């Protein structure tokens, strides 16, 4: 019913544009002159008015105005504003090139990051620029955009060194991470200490904290949309860096100047090269490395078409000589085609391939075996952006994804005593159709409304099961290849409204429903690459969340500061957890036997104050929140705190441009410890102390806080070559933050039991040398 | 096996970490009964230990519970009463386990009753054991290897107890046949060295391995205990081990077949 209503509204608007004869459209693409890179979110404003638009994710813009003379202002972060005077008596196409602001200005009054829009009817969204990623000090000097995202209010880090994150009380698997539209299933290297993103080649990064517009879907809590650079189509560029842990190299340049370009970016760690120097064969046979490789080609085919081909390949290899090996990685490839139909209609077609797999190798003296698991997607996405009239922008399209999961395959060697075991492959189709209209109702009131209709179809071949209350299989249903097991259909309405109170402040509210059909089963304290991705089945229902939020936004100090306050409430259904004593390494087709289901709720208030101009920039964020679960069979069917429930979460980030040579940065984080289960008593079994647990997650880990410092020193700076040294100190005052708390019998006082805290990092310094040709 | 390897490869080796003892304020819960009931094929082996949970800060000791009525019955036979030989320890001479038979335990304490059943598995014995030196990241350790033949048919489970010069190794070794049904097994008993390295197997040490053929429910008990109740846990949510006792007690009832082998470490 929603769909019919939306279609009729759509028709009305389209009809409206046809009959307004005295309106013409200015459209085109906005780019950087020096590099030819398209500019995302650049502002196109009609001087002395409130009319305007912003460029889309491919740099395309379109604005419809009445016949007349106008001065149009084009601006973007870090770029000089350009003005174009024109006489609008027909549709005009403009290709705009903006010049970069020269870096030798003494008084730096440049925006550190893009100005957020008070009027845009979208909330729960934060944009982070490459500058901010570059300047925030991080562990081992490895610039990591995921660590910077964790400094935003509402986004909580999964723990020391861990690149996993939780958004508004949701689980770690409820975040959709997109790299040039391809989903990345495991964005962590080295068991979670580093992320898979090479921040040097990133153009734009946006995080949607639940209220995403209808073109996004598939995960409950957030979408992290990362866009890579296209590649300088004017000049060749070589840049790179040498750090303590890894080395990276970026190469970009034109294939045909102004028309096509390439970008190759790679990173590799080399801790293992040092291991090879050892004479001890138990050390030099160990492997410990990871690499990332991003490659991109883009072609401009005429005035209306652009083609992009991009790929990402990354792998981690951990191995202990001849005993054990762990190898995992992502591979994604996308082909995208932009087509501009006319001044009002932009289209993007994407074909996406995404693969994540891991392999565990165990060699036990002739009893070798491998465990292999994989998730593979083929994805077709079609999106139209219709800039209908001067008041409406309509996005609509469809998305069809085919998922194939190989949950686990045990492959022994010839002499091994382990039997071969192949879990059945799981097939499913995730289809969605969406439409969203952003409607400028009046000068003060903007509305965005849309719906995403998803159908998740589980297909054979395969066996699916029915269970009793204890998780024992009671029935088996066998399906042939291509036979439909079950289809789940869900409508996800997405509505947001903004009301501009005055030029400096606005009020926004939104409601969004999200559905998730891929679930990550994990039971460890830190995310493990061997966590299992499982699709919805006849027993595992799609997770559903409803999020309501209200926000107040204000610009302070004459545009120097941005303040926002948002309050949200999120309801989650069909949440999954493991039974007590579940065998998570069990390799059985009947995976649901280990699972329990229930619901969750999360609510909180987020405050953010951002300083965007001047020598000192940065932000202060504070979140007050709660996240709970109620799962049948856990905690006596009472609500319990989710592990990631943290009452207070504070992040203070400061970046200071001291002079032309030096810039300094610091960040301080503080958060309430995770909710944990501690013993309520102890007893003796088999002569040893065993701990007795009652309530789940009713205790707290100690509070976590940490200060990181960083400094960048610019060395040679000539047009042909520039270099810099980056210093950082992680955990500058050496706070021992608890990573785990264990219990054991005391050796000093026999008979007494003690709690032992393990902390990871203290005072970790690092130096990185970066260069650019 | 997978779990142990991940733990080894985890943070302990690569990143230096700090450990310190801290004070925690833990609320004590109401007392729960703990019943550890075992029996094997030898007469006089039927032993039931009954105690209760204690608050965290109390002395860790076995505080036996007296005046309980404990019986074990072989299916189709009359129950045998176990008498209290010392505080909290109940024994009987006149019952022992026969492979393949089902046994029922009944414990009455005050007006509470706890029951459990366990079927004694068929005997599987060790073919041989040997000690081999393993080299992990530069640390040389002697590891015991056990060899046995798993009978065809899933549902076999085993527990191994390692004694070095008479001292029991605290690591829990349990295996099942989910991935190795019907095969000749040669498995390593991986353990980690304690801080004072007292549990290290040195050349010349007397090493004895006891092999228990256990019921799958008992395998689940030891597995879940090892994963989440020993105090050193990788699990995100520690919980009580999955017990085969009914009525709300902690612990287990296991009727198992025991055999052993010993060697001197080379």
**B110 and A CB contact within 8 Å:** no
**B29 → closest Cβ in A585, A692, A759:** A692
- In total, chain B counts a number of residues equal to 266
The answer to whether the CB atoms of B29 and A694 lie below 8 A apart is yes
A79 and A242 Cβ atoms separated by less than 8 Å: no
How far apart are alpha carbons A109 and A129 in whole angstroms? 17
* Alpha-carbon gap, residue B84 to B69, rounded angstroms: 9
Q: Is B250 on the interface with A (CB under 8 A)?
A: yes
Query: CB of B210 within 8 Å of any CB in chain A?
Result: no
* Least Cα separation, residue B141 to chain A (angstroms): 12
User: How close does chain A come to B98, measured CA to CA in Å?
Assistant: 23
% of residues, chain B, pLDDT over 70: 91
How many CB atoms are closer than 10 A to CB B152?
A: 10
On the question of pLDDT at A1 being above 50, the answer is: no
> SS3 of A285, please?
coil
Nearest-neighbour CA in chain B from A527: distance (Å): 10
For residues B47 and B91, give the distance between their C-alpha atoms in angstroms, rounded to a whole number.
5
Provide the pLDDT confidence category of residue A122 given band limits of 50, 70 and 90.
Answer: confident
Indicate the SS3 state at residue A205.
strand
The residue assigned the tokens 């390949």 is A313
Q: How far is B207 from chain A (nearest CA, A)?
A: 19
For A148, which DSSP code? H
**Please, which residues have CB within 8 angstroms of residue A146's CB and are 6 or more apart in sequence?**
A163, A165, A187, A195, A197
Question: CB–CB of A758 and B60 under 8 A?
Answer: no
Q: How many Cβ contacts (< 8 angstroms) between chains A and B?
A: 230
Which residues, including other chains, have CB under 8 Å from residue A53's CB and lie 6 or more apart? A44, A61, A62, A63, A387, A393
Question: Nearest CA of chain B to the CA of A691: how many Å?
Answer: 5
Of A117-131, A161-175, A560-574, B226-240, the range with the highest mean pLDDT is: A560-574
- Other CB atoms within a 10 A radius of the CB of residue B5 amount to 20
The label of the residue with tokens 């002159």 reads A33
Q: Residues B48, B81: contact at Cβ < 8 Å?
A: no
Distance from CA of A80 to the nearest CA of B (A): 47
Q: Which residues of A touch B17 (CB under 8 A)?
A: 739, 758-760
- Does B51 sit within 8 Å of A757, measured CB to CB? no
Percent of chain A with pLDDT over 70: 91
Would you state the pLDDT for residue B1? 42
Tokens of A683: 């007893």
* pLDDT for residue B13: 38
Whole-number mean pLDDT of chain B? 88
pLDDT digits (tens, 9 = 90+) for B137-186: 667 889 999 999 999 988 999 999 999 999 999 899 999 888 888 888 88
pLDDT for A404: 95
DSSP A471: S
Q: How far apart are CA A278 and CA A272, in angstroms?
A: 10
Pairing of strands A426-440, A445-459: antiparallel
In chain A, which residues have their Cβ closer than 8 Å to the Cβ of B183? 417-419
Cβ neighbors of A46 (< 8 A, separation 6 or more) are A52, A63, A65, A70, A71, A72, A73
Q: Is A563 within 8 Å of A554 (Cβ atoms)?
A: yes
Chain B 34-73, residues with CB within 8 Å of chain A CB atoms: 34, 36, 51-57, 59-62
Of A415 and A228, which is predicted with more confidence? Answer: A228
Q: Which residue shows structure tokens 């989910």?
A: B178
Which tens digits make up the pLDDT trace of A43-90? 898 887 778 888 999 999 999 998 989 999 998 888 889 999 999 899
Integer Cα distance of B153 and B172 in angstroms: 24
Which of B8, B36, B219, B229 would best serve as a mutation to test chain A binding (most A beta carbons within 10 A)?
B229
* Nearest-by-Cβ selection for A760 from B17, B186, B229: B17
Distances (CA, A) of A329 to A70, A359, A377, A641: 52, 9, 14, 32
Which residues on chain B are in Cβ contact (under 8 Å) with A753? 56-57, 60, 231
A467-511, pLDDT tens digit by residue? 998 888 999 999 999 999 999 999 999 999 999 999 899 999 999
Judge whether B5 is closer than 8 Å to chain A, CB to CB.
yes
Quick check: B187 contacting A, CB < 8 Å?
A: yes
Structure tokens at A71: 């001065």
Q: Give pairs for A687-692: CB < 8 Å, separation 24+.
A: A687/B168, A688/B170, A688/B230, A689/A744, A689/A745, A689/A753, A689/B60, A689/B231, A690/B225, A690/B229, A690/B230, A690/B241, A690/B250, A691/A743, A691/B229, A691/B230, A691/B231, A691/B238, A692/B29, A692/B32, A692/B53, A692/B229, A692/B240, A692/B250
Give chain A positions within 8 Å (CB) of B223: 581, 583
- End-to-end, the C-alpha distance of chain A in Å comes to 58
Kindly list the residues from chain A whose CB atom is less than 8 angstroms away from the CB atom of residue B238. Answer: 677, 679, 691, 693
Torsion angles phi and psi, residue B221, rounded to 5: -60, -55
Give yes or no for residue A666 having a pLDDT over 90. Answer: yes
Which residues of chain A have a CB within 8 Å of the CB of B234?
Answer: 524-525
**CA-based nearest residue to A451, from A267, A679, A214, A247:** A214
Task: Report percent pLDDT > 90 for chain A.
Answer: 53
Mean pLDDT of chain A: 88
* A743/B231 touch (CB, cutoff 8 Å), yes or no: yes
Residue in A closest to B147 by C-alpha = A417
Answer yes or no: is pLDDT of A530 > 50: yes
CA pair distance A588, A662, nearest whole angstrom: 58
List of residues 6+ apart from B242 with CB closer than 8 A = A580, A581, B217, B220, B221, B224
Angle (CA) A191 A193 A198, round 5°: 110
Lowest mean pLDDT among A366-370, A455-459, B121-125: A366-370
Cβ contact A625:A650 at 8 Å: no
pLDDT beyond 90 at B193: no
pLDDT tens digit sequence for A535-553: 999 999 999 999 999 999 9
**Using the beta-carbon criterion (under 8 Å), do B2 and A585 form an inter-chain contact?**
yes
**A interface mutation test: which of B8, B33, B53, B214 has the most A CBs within 10 A?**
B53
* Contacts A286 to B, Cβ<8 Å: 137
Q: Do the beta carbons of residue A485 and residue A476 sit within 8 Å?
A: no
Q: How confident is the model at residue B214 (pLDDT cuts 50, 70, 90)?
A: very high
A525, A677, A681: residue with CB nearest B29: A681
Cβ contact, residue pair B57, A753, below 8 Å: yes
Most A CBs within 10 A among B10, B50, B233, B236, hence the mutation to make, goes to B236
Best mutation target among A692, A695, A698, A756 (most B Cβ atoms within 10 Å) is A692
Whether A687 and B168 lie within 8 Å, measured CB to CB: yes
Q: Do A677 and B237 touch (CB under 8 A)?
A: yes
Surface-to-core class of residue A73, CB atoms within 10 Å of its CB (0-12 exposed, 13-18 middle, 19+ buried): middle
Mean pLDDT computed over B38-46: 93
Cα–Cα nearest to A544, from A185, A221, A77, A157: A221
DSSP 3-state helix, strand, coil percentages of chain B (rounded to 5)? 10, 45, 45
Percent of chain B having pLDDT more than 90? 62
- Nearest by CB to residue A680, choosing from B15, B29, B195, is B29
Backbone angles phi, psi at A342, to 5 degrees: -155, -170
Categorize the per-residue pLDDT at A103 as very low, low, confident or very high, splitting at 50, 70 and 90.
Answer: low
Distance between B74 CA and the closest CA of chain A, angstroms: 24
Q: In angstroms, what separates the C-alpha of A396 from chain B's closest C-alpha?
A: 41
Per DSSP, chain B holds a count of helices (H) and strands (E) of: 3, 17
Chain segment A332-378, per-residue pLDDT in tens: 999 999 999 999 999 999 999 999 998 988 876 667 888 888 999 99
A260-287 tens-digit pLDDT: 999 999 999 877 766 666 666 666 677 7
Q: What is the ipTM of this complex?
A: 0.93
pLDDT digits (tens, 9 = 90+) for A424-443: 999 999 999 999 999 999 98
**Among the partner residues B60, B228, B252, nearest to A751 by beta-carbon distance:** B60
Q: Does residue B25 sit at the A interface (CB-CB below 8 Å)? A: no
Q: Are strands B126-136 and B112-119 parallel, antiparallel or unpaired?
A: unpaired
| More confident position, A153 or B17 | A153
Contacts of A324 in chain B (CB under 8 A): 5, 8-9
Min Cα–Cα distance to chain A from B262, Å:
21
- Across residues A187-204, what is the average pLDDT? 79
Q: Rg (Cα) of chain B, in Å, rounded?
A: 20
Q: Which residue of B has its CA nearest to A410?
A: B179
Cβ contacts of A760 on chain B, cutoff 8 Å = 11, 15, 17-18
Q: A687: how many CB neighbours lie within 10 A of its CB?
A: 10
DSSP one-letter string for A368-391: -EEEEEEEEEEEEEEEEEE--TTT
Residues 124-153 of B with CB under 8 A from A: 132, 134-138, 140, 145
pLDDT (0 to 100) of residue A11: 60
Across the range A292-320, mean pLDDT stands at 91
Which pLDDT does position A418 carry in this prediction? 81
Using the Cβ of B239 and the Cβ atoms of chain A, whether some distance falls under 8 Å is answered with: yes
Query: Has residue B234 got a pLDDT over 80?
Result: no
* C-alpha distance from B50 to closest chain A C-alpha (Å): 10
* Nearest CA-CA distance, residue B95 and chain A, Å: 21
Give chain A's count of helices (H) and strands (E): 5, 50
The CA distance from A438 to A433, in Å, is: 17
Measured between CA atoms, how close is B24 to chain A, in angstroms? 7
Answer with the residue of higher pLDDT: A113 or B140: B140
Query: In the numeric block, which tokens belong to residue B265?
Result: 């470490």
| Closest approach of A581 to chain B, Cα-based (Å) | 5
Query: Is the Cβ–Cβ distance between A491 and A2 less than 8 Å?
Result: yes
């Amino acid at each position: 019913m929603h769909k019919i209503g939306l279609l009729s509204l759509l028709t009305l608007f389209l009809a409206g544009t046809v009959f307004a004869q005295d309106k013409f459209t200015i459209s085109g693409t906005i780019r950087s002159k020096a590099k030819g890179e398209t500019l995302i979110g650049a502002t196109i404003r009609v001087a002395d008015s409130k009319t305007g638009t912003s460029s889309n994710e491919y740099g395309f813009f379109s604005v419809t105005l009445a016949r007349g003379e106008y001065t149009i202002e084009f601006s973007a972060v870090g770029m000089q504003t350009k003005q174009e005077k024109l006489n609008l008596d027909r549709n005009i196409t403009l290709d705009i090139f903006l010049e970069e602001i020269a870096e030798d200005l003494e008084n730096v009054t440049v925006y550190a990051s893009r100005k957020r829009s008070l009027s845009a009817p979208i909330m729960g969204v934060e944009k982070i620029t490459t500058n901010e990623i570059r300047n925030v000090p991080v562990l081992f000097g490895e610039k990591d955009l995921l660590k910077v995202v964790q400094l935003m209010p509402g986004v909580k880090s999964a723990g020391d060194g861990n690149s996993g994150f939780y958004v508004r009380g949701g689980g770690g698997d409820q975040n959709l991470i997109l790299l040039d539209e391809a989903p990345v299933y495991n964005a962590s290297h080295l068991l979670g200490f580093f992320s898979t993103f090479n921040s040097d080649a990133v153009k734009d990064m946006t995080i949607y904290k639940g209220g995403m517009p209808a073109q996004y879907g598939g995960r409950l809590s957030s979408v992290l949309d990362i866009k890579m650079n296209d590649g300088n189509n004017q000049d060749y560029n070589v840049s790179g860096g040498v750090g303590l842990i890894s080395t990276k190299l970026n190469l970009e340049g034109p294939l045909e100047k102004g028309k096509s370009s390439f970008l190759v970016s790679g990173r590799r760690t080399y801790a293992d090269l040092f291991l090879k120097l050892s004479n001890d064969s138990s050390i030099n046979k160990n492997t410990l490395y990871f690499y990332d490789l991003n490659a991109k080609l883009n072609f401009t085919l005429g005035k209306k078409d652009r083609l992009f081909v991009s790929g990402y390949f990354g792998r981690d290899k951990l191995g202990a000589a001849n005993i054990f090996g762990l190898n995992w990685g992502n591979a994604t490839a996308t082909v995208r085609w932009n087509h501009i139909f006319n001044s009002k209609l932009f289209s993007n077609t994407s074909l996406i391939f995404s693969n994540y797999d891991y392999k565990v190798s165990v060699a036990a003296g002739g009893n070798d075996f491998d465990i292999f698991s994989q998730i593979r997607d083929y994805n077709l996405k079609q999106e139209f952006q219709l800039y209908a009239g001067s008041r409406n922008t309509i996005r609509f399209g469809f998305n069809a994804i085919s998922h194939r999961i190989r949950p686990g395959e045990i492959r022994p060697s010839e002499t091994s005593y382990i039997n071969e075991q192949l879990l059945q492959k799981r097939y499913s189709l995730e289809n969605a159709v969406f439409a969203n209209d952003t409607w400028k109702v009046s000068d003060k009131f903007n509305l965005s409304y849309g719906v995403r209709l998803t159908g998740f179809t589980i297909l054979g071949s395969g066996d699916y099961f029915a269970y009793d209350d204890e998780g024992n299989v009671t029935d088996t249903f066998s399906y042939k290849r291509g036979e439909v097991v079950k289809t789940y259909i869900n409508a996800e309405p997405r509505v947001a409204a903004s009301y501009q109170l005055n030029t400096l402040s606005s009020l926004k509210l939104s409601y969004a429903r999200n559905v998730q059909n891929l679930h990550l089963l994990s039971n460890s304290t830190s995310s493990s690459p061997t966590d299992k991705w499982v699709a919805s089945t006849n027993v595992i229902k799609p997770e559903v969340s409803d999020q309501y939020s209200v926000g107040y936004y204000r610009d302070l100090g004459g545009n120097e500061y941005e303040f926002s306050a948002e309050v949200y409430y999120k309801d989650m259904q069909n949440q999954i957890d493991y039974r007590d004593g579940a065998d998570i390494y069990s390799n059985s087709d009947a995976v649901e036997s280990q699972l329990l289901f229930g619901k969750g709720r999360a609510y909180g208030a987020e405050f953010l104050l951002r300083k965007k101009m001047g020598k000192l920039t940065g932000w202060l964020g504070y979140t007050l929140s709660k996240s709970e679960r109620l799962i049948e069979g856990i905690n006596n069917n009472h609500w319990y705190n989710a592990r990631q429930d943290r009452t207070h979460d504070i992040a203070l980030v400061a970046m200071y441009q001291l002079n032309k040579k030096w810039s300094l940065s610091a960040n301080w984080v503080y958060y309430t410890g995770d909710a944990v289960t501690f013993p309520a008593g102890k007893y003796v079994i088999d002569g040893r102390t065993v701990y007795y647990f009652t309530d789940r997650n009713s205790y707290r880990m100690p509070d976590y806080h940490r200060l990181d410092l960083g400094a960048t020193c610019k060395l040679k700076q000539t047009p042909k070559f520039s270099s810099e040294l980056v210093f950082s100190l992680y955990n500058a005052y050496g706070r021992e933050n608890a990573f785990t708390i264990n219990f054991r019998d005391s050796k000093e006082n026999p008979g007494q039991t003690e709690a032992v805290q393990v902390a990871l990092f203290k005072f970790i310094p690092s130096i990185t040398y970066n260069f650019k040709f | 096996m997978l779990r142990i390897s991940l733990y080894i490869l985890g943070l302990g080796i690569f990143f230096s970490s700090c450990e310190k003892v801290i004070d925690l304020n833990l609320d004590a819960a109401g007392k729960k009964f703990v019943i550890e009931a075992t029996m094997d094929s030898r007469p006089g082996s039927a032993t039931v230990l009954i105690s209760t949970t204690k608050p965290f800060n109390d002395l860790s000791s076995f505080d036996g519970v007296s005046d309980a009525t404990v019986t074990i019955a072989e299916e189709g036979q009359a129950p045998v009463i176990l008498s209290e030989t010392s505080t909290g320890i109940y024994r009987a001479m006149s019952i022992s386990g026969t492979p393949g038979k089902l046994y029922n335990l009944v414990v009455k304490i005050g007006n509470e009753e706890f029951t459990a059943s366990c079927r004694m598995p068929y005997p599987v014995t060790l073919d041989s054991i040997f000690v081999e030196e393993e080299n992990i990241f530069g640390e040389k350790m002697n590891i015991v290897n056990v060899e046995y033949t798993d009978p065809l048919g899933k549902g076999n489970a085993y527990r191994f107890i390692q004694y070095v010069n008479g001292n029991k190794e605290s690591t829990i070794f349990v295996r099942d046949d989910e991935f190795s049904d019907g095969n000749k097994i040669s498995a390593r008993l991986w353990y980690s060295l304690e801080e004072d390295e007292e549990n290290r197997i040195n050349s010349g040490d007397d090493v004895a391995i006891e092999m228990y053929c256990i019921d799958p429910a008992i395998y689940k008990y030891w597995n879940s205990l090892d994963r989440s109740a020993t105090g050193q846990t990788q699990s995100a949510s520690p919980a009580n081990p999955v017990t085969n006792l009914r009525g709300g007690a902690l612990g287990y009832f296991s009727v198992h077949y025991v055999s052993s082998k010993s060697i001197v470490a080379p």
